[in-house]
């Protein structure tokens, strides 16, 4: 997509759809690994008293050296993300949603935005939704209220439902949108789950939802490329001791390249 058209759509509507980006072979692997990761996360959701409202969700799905990590290594839409966030960016969160018609009621179906503070014209966070199944109106395609990233307050439900767009697309399509945009997952009225990856990317100074440099294993870290270290936030860590603070530039935890 031409960058001028990308800028226009993102600034005006708050979202841009990239059709059929991810290949079918990777999609099949991702769907398998999402199911496995969902089972792992569900154990913690239930054990910690969070079973209600988290149905069909999995959070922080990286670190197992499977297709979910391979997806990150491919850096889909890298140039557009860098343009959105005006330079280096990091992974803020990495999750997945199984919109299952047998388990309604997940929090993702509420009208929400993924940044708590309205930052006017300053974009701090960008959402990326990867369709692992075809998104249709029947299986819960995401609702987005175009141009609502300019609204400081949550729109009334009637206004949202009456004016929001349904984002439909083939499996492998990627929806990129401004995290200030008000949106909601749709209700799945089919007999099959509808899967998606849900990622957010931020400017490096913004706190990650999970401390990924500590979340992944040392073995995993040792195999990371420089690009992946940047993405996971290894160049934007916060010192915790004087010894970590007083270091020459090349060894500092928060690199000068992070802005």
pLDDT in tens, 182-200: 999 998 999 999 999 999 9
pLDDT of residue 104: 64
Mean pLDDT computed over 34-40 = 96
Reported pTM: 0.94
pLDDT of residue 102: 79
pLDDT bucket at 233, cuts 50 / 70 / 90: very high
What percent of the chain has pLDDT above 90?
Answer: 86
CATH C-level class of 6-236? mainly beta
Residue 259 has pLDDT above 80, yes or no: no
Check if the beta carbon of residue 193 is closer than 8 Å to that of residue 156: no
Residue 31 to residue 160: CA distance in whole angstroms:
30
pLDDT in tens, 130-148: 999 999 999 999 999 999 9
């Amino acid at each position: 997509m031409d960058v001028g058209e990308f800028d226009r759509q993102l600034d005006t509507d708050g979202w841009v759809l990239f059709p059929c980006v991810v290949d079918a072979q990777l999609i099949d692997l991702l769907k398998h690994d999402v199911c496995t990761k969902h089972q792992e996360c569900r154990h913690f959701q239930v054990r910690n008293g969070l079973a209600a409202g988290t149905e069909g969700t999995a959070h922080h799905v990286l670190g197992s050296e499977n297709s979910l990590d391979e997806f990150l290594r491919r850096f889909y839409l890298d140039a557009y993300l860098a343009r959105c966030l005006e330079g280096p960016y990091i992974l803020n969160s990495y999750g997945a949603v199984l919109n299952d018609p047998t388990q309604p009621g997940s929090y993702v179906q509420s009208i929400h935005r993924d940044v708590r503070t309205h930052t006017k014209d300053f974009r701090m966070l960008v959402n990326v939704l990867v369709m692992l199944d075809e998104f249709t109106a029947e299986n819960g395609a995401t609702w987005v209220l175009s141009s609502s990233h300019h609204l400081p307050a949550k729109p009334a439900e009637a206004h949202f439902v009456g004016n929001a767009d349904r984002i439909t697309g083939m499996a492998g399509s990627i929806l990129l949108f401004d995290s200030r945009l008000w949106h909601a997952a749709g209700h799945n009225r089919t007999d099959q789950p509808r899967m998606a990856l849900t990622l957010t990317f931020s400017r490096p100074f913004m706190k990650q939802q999970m401390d990924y440099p500590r979340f992944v294993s040392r073995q995993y870290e040792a195999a990371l490329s420089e690009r992946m270290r940047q993405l996971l936030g290894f160049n934007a860590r916060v010192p915790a001791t004087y010894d970590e603070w007083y270091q020459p530039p090349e060894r500092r935890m928060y690199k000068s390249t992070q802005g």
